[in-house]
């Protein structure tokens, strides 16, 4: 259901409190120290433009093993993730990592929403706040906190499908992809 991906409210967020990058860059233009500070946040007229969030990769991190990483810019990788997926070890600790680039403005209130199904029945919905980010050339890295534990036991083992979406406070959807994963005794 589409309601599964409706983000929870963000409190007293006000769209009136936002400004575009060029407006912020022009404010107090004669204050040198303020201009340096704004530049450190990525606020300058040269980077102003249409806001864009490009999610580059999705990874599963677990202590003591190499990350399970997927390049989300590669169509074949997305197809493999949806059709084949990956295996998680029952009762293992894990975290999700996203790498993404923000350009053209400041993105406010990014959220990671994951709806998981087993045999077509929703078994979990997870929503995590990613945060607000300014533009920069280098990729931002977000790692979910706290770490999660993969369910264990006979009923938890098996194949799952999930849909992941990354949205902002305005409801703009920056990423959607489907994945399959299996919970088993070993990786």
Tell if the pTM clears 0.75, that is, is over it.
yes
Task: Give CA–CA dist 182/51, Å, rounded.
Answer: 36
17-28 per-position pLDDT tens digit = 455 556 666 666
Residues 6+ apart with CB under 8 A from 119: none
Q: Which two tokens stand for residue 116?
A: 């998981």
- pLDDT tens readout for residues 51-85: 899 999 999 999 999 999 999 999 999 999 999 99
The answer to whether the beta carbons of residues 116 and 160 sit under 8 Å apart is yes
């Amino acid at each position: 259901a589409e309601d599964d991906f409706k983000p929870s409210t963000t409190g007293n967020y006000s769209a009136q409190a936002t400004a575009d990058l060029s407006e912020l860059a022009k404010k107090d233009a004669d204050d040198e120290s303020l201009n340096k500070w704004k530049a450190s946040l990525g606020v300058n007229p040269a980077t102003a433009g249409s806001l864009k969030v490009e999610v580059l990769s999705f990874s599963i991190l677990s202590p003591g093993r190499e990350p399970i990483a997927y390049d989300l810019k590669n169509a074949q990788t997305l197809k493999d993730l949806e059709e084949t997926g990956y295996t998680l070890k029952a009762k293992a600790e894990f975290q999700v990592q996203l790498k993404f680039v923000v350009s053209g403005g400041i993105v406010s209130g990014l959220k990671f929403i994951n709806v998981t199904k087993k045999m077509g029945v929703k078994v979990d919905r997870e929503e995590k706040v990613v945060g607000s980010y300014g533009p920069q050339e280098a990729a931002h890295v977000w790692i979910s906190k706290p770490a999660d534990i993969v369910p264990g036991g006979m009923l938890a083992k098996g194949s799952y499908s999930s849909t992941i979406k990354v949205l902002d406070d305005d409801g703009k959807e920056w990423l959607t992809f489907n994945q399959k994963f299996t919970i088993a005794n070993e990786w």
